[in-house]
Structure 1
Amino acid sequence: MSNARDINPILKQVLELGPPLVFFLIYLRIRDNTYVMGGTEYSGFIVATLVFVPIMLIAMAVLSALTGKLSRMQVFTAFMIVFFGALTAWFNDERFFKMKTSIVYGMFALLLGIGLLRGQSWLAFVLKDTMPMEDEGWMILTRRLCLMFAGLAVANEIVWRTMSTDTWFKIETFGFPIALVVFLFLQFSALQGYLIEEDEEDEEDEDA
């Protein structure tokens, strides 16, 4: 933690959001094409996936070098992208990469749910240092976010199984992230009363 460094927030957003956007743009460019590699014919979707994986890993490596850290969530998401990207290419089946989003959201919901069953907010364990909040507030936020992740996992399954690849791509790239950002914004606004001000923290430290 002591080695963590702050970087320009715009650069940070570019490194985090740039790869999915590049993936989307590459897909739009080559979606109607087919490519033969090693005697096997691949769709534009699968080729875009193969290009996206190294771009995402390079962006994560640069982000790690600049900030001196990577969150567990980032590492887990990167692992899932590489794993399901490899399955997509190996089996030449785009369904694997589409399922990846459901599994990632589902795993987040499962992990938060396990913590809740133990009477703990594992979300607080990850974020408490960056956003001091009363334990009750963390429990409320964790319950709601657990349900949100579960809902996104179900929504992704419905979208990719019933809609076109183009529609899924747009919703997965823009719809789900925007929905999550709006949800978190509304939750943090609603939970303002549970936030701990710096003055209160100082008083607690003095009392201790």
Structure 2
Amino acid sequence: MSETLAEGPGGEKSHPPVGPIFRRIGFEAAPLLLFFIGYKYYDFMTATAIFIAAVVAVTGLSWFLDGRFPVLPAFSCAIALATGGLTLVLEDETFIMVRPTIINGLYGLVILTSVLVGRPLLAYVMKGALELDDAGWRGLSWMLALYLLFLAGLNEAIWRTQSTELWVDFKVFALIPLNILFVLILWPYAKRHFRNGGQA
């Protein structure tokens, strides 16, 4: 979502390409896939170290490609460093396993609060990357906030009640497809609310 709706040749409307959206999904999926491989071929602690290195790498790559400091990815990176570091130092899997709960829960609550006070945070965070009308930002914020809170609750339920191996499998075989499906469902809604009369 790195480009806004713009006039194409001959005055035709052109839409922001979906490529940057799936690039963001790829940046989030890559560390999970590497964690999965590290866990299957080595052990949980090795997988955690690989995951931390991958998160730092994709955060730096995001900064390089976008040409601006990636605030939200950087915050997620800081949480990964903190929880992953505690996991490695204390040899306790719990810290890295609650990381998704912390990040998704916090993001969901902040976005939801911003909508309730009438100042959707997404409109500021994504300024210059996606241009929607006011109704679009409100709707997108509600859906994203509820989805993130759902993911936080789902992560809590799985790591507390299931085996570590199932939790690892869930991160790859359930979470990544869920994120892709959520974007595919959300994209038509966003296109209906592009500024300057963008239509699907």
TM category (shorter chain) comes to 0.7 to 0.9
Greater gyration radius:
1
CA RMSD of aligned residues (A): 2.6
1:14–1:148 Cα change, 3 Å: closer
Whole-angstrom CA distance in 2 between matches of 1:186 and 1:179: 11
Counterpart among 27, 31, 46 of residue 39 in structure 2: 27
Deviates more, 1:9-18 or 1:164-173: 9-18
**Are positions 1:154 and 2:166 aligned together?**
no
8 Å Cα contact 1:53-1:82 kept in structure 2: yes
Moved over 3 A (4+): 8-17
8 Å Cα contact 1:16-1:60 kept in structure 2: no
Q: Which amino acid aligns with 1:136?
A: A
How far did residue 13 of structure 1 move?
6.9
How far did residue 156 of structure 1 move?
0.4
1:152–1:61 Cα change, 3 Å: same
* Unmatched runs of 5 consecutive residues or more in structure 2: 1-18
Whole-angstrom CA distance in 2 between matches of 1:147 and 1:11: 23
User: Residue in 1 aligned with 2:95?
Assistant: 96
Deviates more, 1:161-170 or 1:15-24: 15-24
1:69–1:174 Cα change, 3 Å: farther
8 Å Cα contact 2:132-2:195 kept in structure 1: yes
Deviates more, 1:80-89 or 1:180-189: 180-189
User: Residue in 2 aligned with 1:116?
Assistant: 115
The SS at the match of 1:73 is helix
Residues 40-55 of structure 1 mapped to structure 2, 5 A cutoff:
44-55=43-54
* Unmatched runs of 5 consecutive residues or more in structure 1: 1-7, 31-43, 200-208
- Deviation sequence 1:109-132 (CA, Å, 0-9, x none): 111022012111111112242222
Whole-angstrom CA distance in 2 between matches of 1:160 and 1:184: 25
How far did residue 76 of structure 1 move?
1.0
Q: TM-score, structure 2 length as denominator?
A: 0.79
- How many residues are paired up? 180
8 Å Cα contact 1:19-1:56 kept in structure 2: yes
User: Relative contact order: is structure 1 or structure 2 higher (C-alpha 8 Å, sep ≥ 6)?
Assistant: 2
Percent identity for Structure 1 against Structure 2: 26
8 Å Cα contact 2:25-2:179 kept in structure 1: no
8 Å Cα contact 1:21-1:173 kept in structure 2: yes
Whole-angstrom CA distance in 1 between matches of 2:95 and 2:196: 45
Q: TM-score, structure 1 length as denominator?
A: 0.76
Whole-angstrom CA distance in 1 between matches of 2:49 and 2:116: 39
